[in-house]
């Protein structure tokens, strides 16, 4: 569960990630931030996790879906997976 301050920051994070101001975040917009969030996570990991919260199956996240993703710790999970990926 998120603290109140963290929950208040979710809409701001959503607006930052929504580069085209469509009120939806697509995979490309999230992938643009992957080097910051999880530099070693493969893009397929991001897509798989987005599918977990994409209720209308449009491949994009609206604010409600994004809030669900953050609240469920999926961003943390992606970052953790990225830290575990080894490149040989």
> Where are the chain's structural domains?
4-84
pLDDT at 79: 64
**E strand spans, 2-72:** 25-26, 60-61
Predicted structure pTM score: 0.76
pLDDT at 87: 46
Least confident interval from 10-14, 31-35, 73-77? 73-77
Reference 58, options 17, 32, 86, 23; nearest CA is 23
Across the range 32-57, mean pLDDT stands at: 83
4-84 domain in CATH 3.90.1300.10?
A: no
* Most confident range, picked from 9-18, 28-37, 77-86: 9-18
Confidence grade of residue 80 (pLDDT, cut at 50, 70, 90): low
């Amino acid at each position: 569960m998120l603290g109140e301050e963290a929950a208040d920051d979710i809409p701001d994070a959503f607006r930052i990630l929504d580069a085209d101001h469509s009120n939806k975040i697509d995979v490309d917009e999230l992938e643009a931030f992957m080097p910051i969030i999880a530099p070693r996570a493969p893009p397929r990991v991001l897509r798989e996790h987005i599918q977990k919260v994409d209720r209308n199956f449009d491949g994009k996240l609206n604010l409600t879906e994004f809030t669900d993703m953050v609240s469920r710790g999926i961003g943390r999970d992606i970052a953790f997976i990225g830290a575990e990926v080894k490149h040989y």
